[in-house]
């Protein structure tokens, strides 16, 4: 297989967005995946906000955001007054707000709670209400709200209806976009939901750039889905070695080495006719000993993976920081601040930059 290197840089591209007439204010910015996407789409980020100190340091460490003010704050303590001077100094022709409020209230992990007991709308971790409050105060031309796919699960019906009603009462037209990062050039299966809102009537939908072989037959303008090899093979050299990647001599190191690329622990069970079964199919999580295939996209990158939770590199080691960053389409020259655990969390919680770019491009086209 011939690999084609993929990737891009941003810290040397600041002049491309510095004079943008569309400005963005970021909330729940984390390491800046959505903020990067915003600037790639042509909207200059003039401010970011996050409660995690390492994430704020990450944003400050990158020249791509030197023109922005980065707040280490809880959104509950933020008011429109905090942005008065900033908006006056930048004087944007158009303003958008972007953010992905914490998704714990809508995660699949909460499905075991009965419908009567599950009150996502009242969950103290649900920051959507505070995001809407700031939107109401700042009155932007449009905004983006990102969340996990399971926000649309029936058990969240009341919370989602309240969100829809609130957006409507604020005077915005909106679209709900169910997305898979694969469709927008990200080498990773990652489903997310975007609420895109504008003061104008929405026209069209975000433009997908990639598709399956069957989709390409119907729409030849689409490109094939990205594979992980093209994005991370460049980091498979000694220069990028990390102590954290080592699995040799540990509990399941031999079993991990025996799993073929693109497979998980089930490859070592009688279901797959493994000669000396190590496990029983259906007794482990699906991502246990899960390995990447360089010819295929990745599975979802986790913010806090367990010790034997994949995806692992196809060679039988844990992924390196630049590899997990690349699978989230962070720029090659992007700087992360914090220890290994903190950086994994920052990257795993992020919106893939190229997915964010496509969503913000669509939003901008509908506020102009």
Please check whether residue 241 lies inside any domain of the structure. Answer: yes
Q: How far apart are CA 336 and CA 339, in angstroms?
A: 9
What CATH number is given to the structural domain containing 282? 3.90.120
Same domain for 253 and 164: no
Q: Are 43 and 96 in contact (CB under 8 A)?
A: yes
The structural domain count of the chain equals: 2
**Residue 3: CB partners within 8 Å, gap ≥ 6?**
229, 230, 233, 294
- Which H helix or E strand runs over 326? helix 321-327
Phi, then psi, of 307 in degrees rounded to 5: -60, -30
Per DSSP, 337 falls in state: -
Same domain for 264 and 176: no
Please check whether residue 4 lies inside any domain of the structure. Answer: no
Residues in the chain, total: 368
Per-10-residue mean pLDDT for the chain, 368 residues long? 83 86 97 98 97 98 97 94 96 97 57 39 66 95 94 87 93 97 98 97 96 96 97 97 94 96 97 94 95 98 93 97 98 97 97 98 96
Q: Find, among 103, 100, 196, the residue nearest to 146 by Cα.
A: 100
Structure confidence by residue, pLDDT tens digits, 113-124: 334 443 444 555
Same domain for 310 and 201: no
Same domain for 240 and 193: no
302: which 2 tokens? Answer: 């986790």
Task: Judge whether 103 counts as a catalytic residue.
Answer: yes
Please check whether residue 204 lies inside any domain of the structure. Answer: yes
Candidates 103, 128, 289, 324; catalytic one: 103
Same domain for 309 and 198: no
**Residue 219: CB partners within 8 Å, gap ≥ 6?**
211
Same domain for 357 and 323: no
Q: Find, among 358, 226, 241, 252, the residue nearest to 310 by Cα.
A: 252
What CATH number is given to the structural domain containing 129? 3.40.50.150
Structure confidence by residue, pLDDT tens digits, 321-342: 999 999 999 999 999 999 999 9
- Which H helix or E strand runs over 142? strand 142-148
pTM, two decimal places: 0.93
Q: Which residues pair with 70 in a beta bridge?
A: 48
Please check whether residue 5 lies inside any domain of the structure. Answer: no
Same domain for 199 and 254: no
Same domain for 208 and 298: no
Same domain for 180 and 251: no
Same domain for 294 and 213: no
Please check whether residue 2 lies inside any domain of the structure. Answer: no
Please check whether residue 40 lies inside any domain of the structure. Answer: yes
Q: Are 126 and 171 in contact (CB under 8 A)?
A: no
Range of the domain at 344: 228-348
Same domain for 170 and 27: yes
Please check whether residue 195 lies inside any domain of the structure. Answer: yes
**What's the pLDDT score for residue 120?**
44
Same domain for 216 and 105: yes
65: which 2 tokens? Answer: 């955001």
Phi, then psi, of 117 in degrees rounded to 5: -90, -20
Please check whether residue 3 lies inside any domain of the structure. Answer: no
């Amino acid at each position: 297989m011939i690999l084609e290197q993929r990737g891009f840089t941003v810290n040397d591209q600041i002049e491309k967005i510095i004079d943008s007439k569309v400005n963005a204010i970021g909330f729940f910015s984390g390491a800046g995946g959505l903020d990067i996407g915003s600037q790639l789409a042509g909207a200059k980020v003039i401010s970011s906000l996050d409660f995690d100190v390492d994430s704020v340091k990450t944003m400050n460490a990158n020249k791509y955001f030197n023109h922005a003010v980065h707040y280490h704050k809880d959104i509950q303590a933020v008011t429109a007054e905090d942005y008065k001077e900033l908006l006056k100094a930048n004087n944007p022709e158009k303003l958008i707000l972007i953010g992905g409020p914490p998704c714990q209230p809508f995660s699949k992990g909460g499905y075991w709670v009965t419908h009567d007991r599950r009150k996502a709308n009242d969950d103290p971790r649900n920051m959507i209400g505070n995001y809407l409050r700031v939107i109401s105060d700042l009155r932007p031309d449009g905004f983006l709200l990102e969340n996990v796919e399971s926000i649309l699960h029936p058990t969240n019906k009341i919370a989602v209806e309240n969100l829809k009603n609130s957006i409507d009462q604020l005077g915005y037209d909106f679209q709900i976009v169910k997305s898979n990062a694969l469709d927008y050039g990200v080498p990773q299966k990652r489903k997310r939901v975007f609420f895109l809102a504008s003061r104008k009537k929405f026209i069209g939908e975000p433009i997908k750039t990639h598709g399956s072989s069957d989709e390409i037959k119907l729409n030849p303008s689409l490109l094939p889905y990205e594979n992980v090899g093209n994005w991370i093979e460049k980091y498979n050299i000694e220069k990028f070695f990390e102590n954290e990647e080592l699995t040799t001599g540990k509990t399941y190191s031999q079993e991990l080495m025996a799993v073929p690329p693109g497979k998980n622990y089930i490859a070592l069970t009688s279901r797959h006719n493994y000669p000396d079964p190590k496990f029983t199919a259906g007794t482990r999580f699906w991502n246990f000993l899960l390995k990447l295939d360089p010819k295929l996209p990745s599975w979802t990158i986790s913010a806090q993976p367990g010790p034997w939770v994949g995806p692992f590199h196809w060679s039988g080691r844990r992924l390196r920081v630049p590899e997990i960053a690349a699978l989230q389409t962070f720029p090659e020259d992007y700087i992360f601040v914090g220890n290994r655990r903190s950086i994994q969390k920052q990257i795993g919680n992020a919106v893939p930059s190229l997915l964010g770019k496509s969503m913000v491009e669509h939003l901008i086209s509908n506020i102009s």
